[in-house]
Structure 1
């Protein structure tokens, strides 16, 4: 892929839902590694996994196999996300991905639904952030769109925040859309002001992405799984990744 043609905001494809479908049978299909390869071939700048302790989708073996896949794509990013107080740190120590995203999920949680809280979570997160950075791994914290929390994130030594975008996605097309988007704009400005990089993810799709990217020009990366994989069931990986990359392009 020609780097000059990359969109301003990078696309990391979360392949958890591919693993979830595979795990419903014992046939090994669809292949998580093949899905990742096809997304990378189509131009995705990264692959994301969220290996939960119960392995209901991504399994430990998947992480190792994806590491091997990513070796063939040295210019792309492997992002492992999850709760650092469960099984996440074992993967970070073994794999040393380009990025780790700390998410405050409970063990049996259906899906991520909130960010970290400060000062409540600060003391226990700080040594784990320091360990990741000593391993050469960029650290992003999953956060709600709360501007006054950004300085606390920066003080812990994290490199980025990933803004939890479900409230924006839920308001899309309704009367609260502009008010929700304004919360993210304000949080993005606060993050940038203290030197944090900016990621976003959760329920983003082809419809709501363009307005989000246009409003937040400092956005560096989005992580998208459910909507992208659902679209790929109809369109295929190549066309779907192309459509999301198009949705991420800066508008004049």
Structure 2
């Protein structure tokens, strides 16, 4: 079975919008695991607009499944990961101030830099994954960095699926086949949802893990509204 890691950034966004500690990020992480998720993902950014660095430290004590920390490997991020010692670190080339991830690494241009960072994490027993577009040259470049896994950046697949183009999966299938030949583990994430996840899974050989946040939290809000509204109505009778 492909493992599901739930990204809880949006829970922190909701908390931060109001102040205080509702919803409680740590409790949500506990509950997600209790409900059956195989892991918890966070993506702290330098401005801490959702997950804060202290959240990353606090979550270490409550995540007993796979703990995955994503981010751009700048100095503060590297220090945080080494302090928290997650099971996996996923390196993402986010620009400072980016709303969300928008591209994979150029693993050829950044090969030396990525190699140095990955070696540091691996020396500390942390599994590494790097964000890549479904471009065969980028997968080959990823192998040369020494990473354990790649995470396929799936925004374009999700867009093509939404407009009815099922052939949009083909570059991802080919990238996954090459990754398997190169003995790279395969993760995936970005805009995967209840609508497209089954089709994606069926067409990606060797898919080990998906990381899903925005869609999953949005779907949970909507699918839970009926239940919660009626719970309030019962209380008000």
Give the TM-score of the pair, scaled to structure 2: 0.92
Is 2:202 aligned against 1:211?
Answer: no
5+ residue gaps, structure 1: 1-7, 240-252
Counterparts of 1:85-234 in structure 2, within 5 Å, are 85=74, 87-175=76-164, 177-234=165-222
In 2, Cα distance between equivalents of 1:194 and 1:211:
24
Task: Tell me which residue corresponds to 1:16.
Answer: 9
Q: Deviations over 1:185-226 (max 9, x none)?
A: 000001111010000000000110000000113100000000
How many residues align? The count is: 225
SS for the counterpart of 1:128 is helix
Determine if contact 1:52/1:87 at 8 Å carries over to the other structure.
no
Determine if contact 2:176/2:205 at 8 Å carries over to the other structure.
no
Determine if contact 1:47/1:78 at 8 Å carries over to the other structure.
yes
Task: Tell me which residue corresponds to 1:244.
Answer: none
Displacement of 1:173 in angstroms is 3.7
Give the TM-score of the pair, scaled to structure 1: 0.86
5+ residue gaps, structure 2: 228-237
SS for the counterpart of 1:220 is strand
In 2, Cα distance between equivalents of 1:118 and 1:44:
30
SS for the counterpart of 2:18 is coil
Determine if contact 1:81/1:88 at 8 Å carries over to the other structure.
no
List structure 1 segments (4+ residues) > 6 angstroms apart after TM superposition. Answer: none
Determine if contact 1:98/1:138 at 8 Å carries over to the other structure.
yes
In 2, Cα distance between equivalents of 1:125 and 1:173:
33
In 1, Cα distance between equivalents of 2:222 and 2:159:
23
In 2, Cα distance between equivalents of 1:234 and 1:65:
29
Determine if contact 2:111/2:144 at 8 Å carries over to the other structure.
no
Highest relative contact order (Cα 8 Å, sep 6+), 1 or 2?
1
In 1, Cα distance between equivalents of 2:74 and 2:168:
31
Determine if contact 1:86/1:107 at 8 Å carries over to the other structure.
no
Determine if contact 1:147/1:188 at 8 Å carries over to the other structure.
no
Displacement of 1:86 in angstroms is 5.1
Cα root mean square deviation, aligned: 1.3
Displacement of 1:143 in angstroms is 0.4
In 2, Cα distance between equivalents of 1:120 and 1:217:
27
Structure number, greater radius of gyration = 2
Q: Deviations over 1:25-45 (max 9, x none)?
A: 122111111111111000000
